Amino acid sequence: MRIRGAPLIGVAAAYGLALTAHNAKAKEKKELIQQLSESARNLALTRPTAVNLFWAVERIMKKIEEVKHGSSAKISNAVVEEAKRIADEDFEVNRRIGMHGSPLIKNGDTVLTYCNAGGLATSGYGTALGVLRTAWTEGTKFKVIAAETRPLLQGARLTAYELQQEGIPVTIITDNAAGYIISKGMIDMIIVGADRILKDAVINKIGTYTLALLASTHNTPFYVAAPSSTFDIKRRVNDVEVEERAQTEVLRFQQLQIAPEGVNAYNPAFDITPMQYIKGIIWEKGISSPRDLQKRSDFL
């Protein structure tokens, strides 16, 4: 969890392989490829849910396959170059997501966002927060409600920080206040990121599904902003593992114990939002309804 945010996990995995390539540059070719394959396997084991990790590792491995007849130095350079390209493309893709999504936000809107899908979760611009950033830069005036996002408080710590830096008005709520606020009609739109977009559902930070259900119940549009590196739309919910994380994340607030000694916690890190609750997915090629995206699944 030193690195978080699906797109950034992908970029970090790519640079992990670039590091392996760089450090093993002088080695014999067979050994180099073996070390890269081993690194790829290890990286793939670090986090099970966000698909960008596997996407980035596969993309680098494909590049290695392409240049495998060249010298060790050529292979190493190709890996490093491909990692840079993944990082640069992520930034560009975020800019395009921002551009497509920003017209959804109107003057005077209050937008709810969740967890952190900002510059701190990507190469530097953000997906959900990229949309907000673009709209703000274009002169749209709106407010943001950031749900704190327990247990690790990415909303309170990271999203609030990014928006504050940008000068966008932001108010923090506890996650459990969203129901009241949405039911009172205080929210015009909800926008979140994604860790994996499947054929039948979106996987994102635990708590996302509840927000989507509330949005659907109270006719509040619910958007997901994510690059196509997050898409895995040939797979379904049942094919995917939802990561469970350490109890201490729930039982402790940094050094502060918040529950009696000896009590257990259950800490699933992600949840599953069925497609029916999602109004649109904002990605680098535009805004697609879940149905449209499913139709495009062949060429993604």
- What are the catalytic residues? 195
The answer to whether 146 and 113 have CB atoms below 8 angstroms apart is yes
* Residue among 52, 61, 164, 169 at smallest CA distance from 108: 169
Q: Does 263 bind a second copy (CB under 8 A)?
A: yes
Amino acid identity of residue 105, one-letter, is I
Q: Does 140 bind a second copy (CB under 8 A)?
A: no
Q: Does 179 bind a second copy (CB under 8 A)?
A: yes
Give the rounded distance of the alpha carbon of 32 from its chain centre: 31
Of 102 and 149, CB closest to a second copy: 149
Q: Does 148 bind a second copy (CB under 8 A)?
A: yes
Q: Does 1 bind a second copy (CB under 8 A)?
A: no
Site of tokens 């749209």: 140
* Rounded Cα distance, 57 and 63, in Å: 10
Using DSSP's 3-state secondary structure scheme, residue 51 falls into coil
CB atoms within 10 A of CB 111: 24
User: Using CB under 8 A as the criterion, what x/- string covers residues 202-231 for binding a second copy?
Assistant: ----xx-xx--xx--x--------------
* Residue among 32, 16, 28 at smallest CA distance from 76: 32
Q: Does 258 bind a second copy (CB under 8 A)?
A: yes
Q: Which of 1, 30, 260, 298 binds a second copy (CB under 8 A)?
A: 260
Token pair listed for 100: 């497509």
Q: Does 237 bind a second copy (CB under 8 A)?
A: no
* Rounded Cα distance, 219 and 183, in Å: 9
Q: Which of 63, 150, 196, 279 binds a second copy (CB under 8 A)?
A: 150
Of 70 and 268, CB closest to a second copy: 268
Q: Does 128 bind a second copy (CB under 8 A)?
A: no
Q: Which of 25, 157, 199, 235 binds a second copy (CB under 8 A)?
A: 157
* Rounded Cα distance, 123 and 175, in Å: 27
Taking each helix axis from N to C end, the angle separating 6-23 and 72-101, rounded to the nearest 10 degrees, works out to 160
Q: Which of 12, 24, 53, 178 binds a second copy (CB under 8 A)?
A: 178
Of 176 and 289, CB closest to a second copy: 176
Residues near a second copy (CB under 8 A) are: 145, 147-151, 153, 156-157, 160-161, 164, 170-181, 183, 206-207, 209-210, 213-214, 217, 242, 250-251, 253-254, 256, 258-260, 262-268, 270-272
